[in-house]
Amino acid sequence: MSTCYKCNTKLNLDPQNVTRSSICENCYTDIRCCHMCTFFDRNSYNECREPMADRITDKEKKNFCDYYSLGSNIDKEKEKEDLLNKANALFK
């Protein structure tokens, strides 16, 4: 299950059917954008973990990236929390 990166509304979308015109029903944010992609990573080159993807300058707007895959923000937040807990346990 994915959530909108902007308003955290749960999105009931089939990841295979996300089109360029898909938007969040709550805040009308574009869904097919870098911020909603599995490969989006602020710490990677061009903020994308897919090395073959073209550079997208506006990460919040819909785009034509061939590598787009709807990501799960819930999983990313859980992973971040788990890493933080492990780091805190290490330094106690």
- Nearest CA to 2 out of 29, 38, 44 is that of 38
pLDDT band for position 37 (cuts 50, 70, 90): very high
Widest CA span in the chain = 48
Which of 40-44, 50-54, 60-64 bottoms out in mean pLDDT, i.e. has the lowest? 40-44
Judged against a pLDDT cut of 60, whether residue 10 lies above it is answered with yes
How many CB atoms within 10 Å of residue 72?
A: 16
Which of 9-18, 35-44, 60-69, 74-83 bottoms out in mean pLDDT, i.e. has the lowest? 74-83
For 34-50, the three-class secondary structure string (H helix, E strand, C coil) is HHHECCECCCCHHHECC
How confident is the model at residue 47, as a pLDDT? 93
pLDDT band for position 86 (cuts 50, 70, 90): confident
Residue type, 27: C
How many CB atoms within 10 Å of residue 86?
A: 10
Structural domain count of the chain: 1
Give the range of the structural domain holding residue 50, as residue numbers without chain letter.
Answer: 1-92
